[in-house]
């Protein structure tokens, strides 16, 4: 069974397999079924987001004993942003297991960033309900090990927007411009995507649970892009 393969990949065998099915069910499928008794993953996504915040906070608090609150918040925001969650979802081939409506399937829903990030949070919520906080912590520790290692090797910036401003102003009087280009999710669980532009071109893009966090992620992406280009 495909679900058994996914359980092996994530290292958790569900005692309540209906939780896994709910985590994988996109709202489009429930809508196609007319919502008559059909469940989808938005409630589990809501729960999984809270579990992710708790388990990541616990992990980075232990791993970075010398970081002040501001840096800890920044690390957590980076790990919990939509792009990171999408990467983690892709690493476990989560898109392959999604249960989608026909329209969502036809429009490339298995590879859509928002679907993957949402389902990943829903999966964590399902693991928490099925196995408790210990199972959730085990999953997060295994899943975010590579991300945490990379962050430890490249210490996160205290103020990406400020650093980007200084870097660009040393080259030109033109200031970076931030724009929120996309907003998804229900009111209680919004996600924002922002871009930063300079001299008429996009130099960075990022996502976050608030407009401010999305802009910080965009600034970080711009700085990383400039560093890779040797600028």
Active-site entry in 49, 193, 215, 220: 49
CATH of the domain at 143: 1.10.1520.10
Domain extent for 194: 160-228
> Over the chain, what HEC string results?
CHHHHHHHHHCCCCCCHHHHHHHHECHHHHHHCCCCCCCCCHHHHHHHHHHHHHHHHHHHHHHCCCCCHHHHHHHHHHHCCHHHHHHHHHHCCHHHHCECCHHHHHCCHHHCHHHHHHHHHHHHHHHHHHHHHHHHHHHHHHHCHHHHHHHHHCCCCCCHHHHHHHHHHCCCCCCCEEEEEEEECCHHHCEEEEEEEECCEEEEEEEECCHHHHHHHHHHHHHHHHHHCCC
Is 18 assigned a catalytic role? no
Residue pLDDT tens, the chain, 231 long: 568 899 999 999 999 999 999 999 999 987 777 755 568 999 999 999 999 999 999 999 988 888 888 778 878 888 888 888 998 999 999 999 999 999 899 999 899 988 999 999 999 999 999 999 999 999 999 999 877 776 665 555 668 898 899 889 888 888 999 999 988 877 777 788 999 999 999 999 988 878 888 898 899 889 888 877 765
User: Do residues 54 and 83 both lie within one domain?
Assistant: yes
Which of the following is catalytic: 22, 45, 121, 215?
121
Any idea what the CATH number is for the domain that residue 173 is in? 3.30.160.20
Catalytic-residue membership of 21: no
Q: Are residues 89 and 177 in the same domain?
A: no
């Amino acid at each position: 069974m495909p679900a058994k393969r996914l359980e092996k990949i994530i290292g958790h065998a569900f005692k309540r397999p209906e939780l896994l099915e709910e985590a994988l069910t996109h709202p489009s499928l429930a809508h196609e079924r007319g919502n008559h008794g059909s469940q989808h993953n938005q409630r589990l996504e809501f729960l999984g987001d809270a579990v992710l915040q708790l388990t990541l906070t616990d992990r980075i608090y232990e791993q970075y004993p010398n970081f002040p609150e501001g840096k800890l918040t920044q690390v957590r925001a980076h790990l919990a942003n939509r792009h990171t969650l999408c990467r983690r979802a892709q690493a476990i081939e989560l898109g392959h297991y999604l249960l989608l409506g026909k329209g969502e399937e036809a429009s490339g829903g298995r590879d859509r960033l928002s679907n993957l990030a949402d389902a990943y949070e829903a999966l964590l919520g399902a693991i928490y309900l099925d196995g408790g906080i210990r199972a959730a912590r085990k999953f997060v520790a295994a899943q975010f090990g590579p991300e945490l290692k990379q962050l430890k090797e490249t210490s996160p910036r205290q103020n990406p927007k400020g650093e980007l401003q200084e870097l660009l102003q040393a080259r030109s009087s033109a200031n970076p411009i931030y724009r929120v280009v996309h907003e998804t999710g229900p009111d209680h669980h919004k996600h924002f995507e922002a871009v930063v532009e300079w001299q008429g071109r996009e130099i960075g893009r990022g996502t976050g649970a608030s407009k401010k966090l999305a802009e910080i992620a965009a600034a970080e992406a711009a700085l990383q892009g400039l560093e890779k280009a040797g600028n």
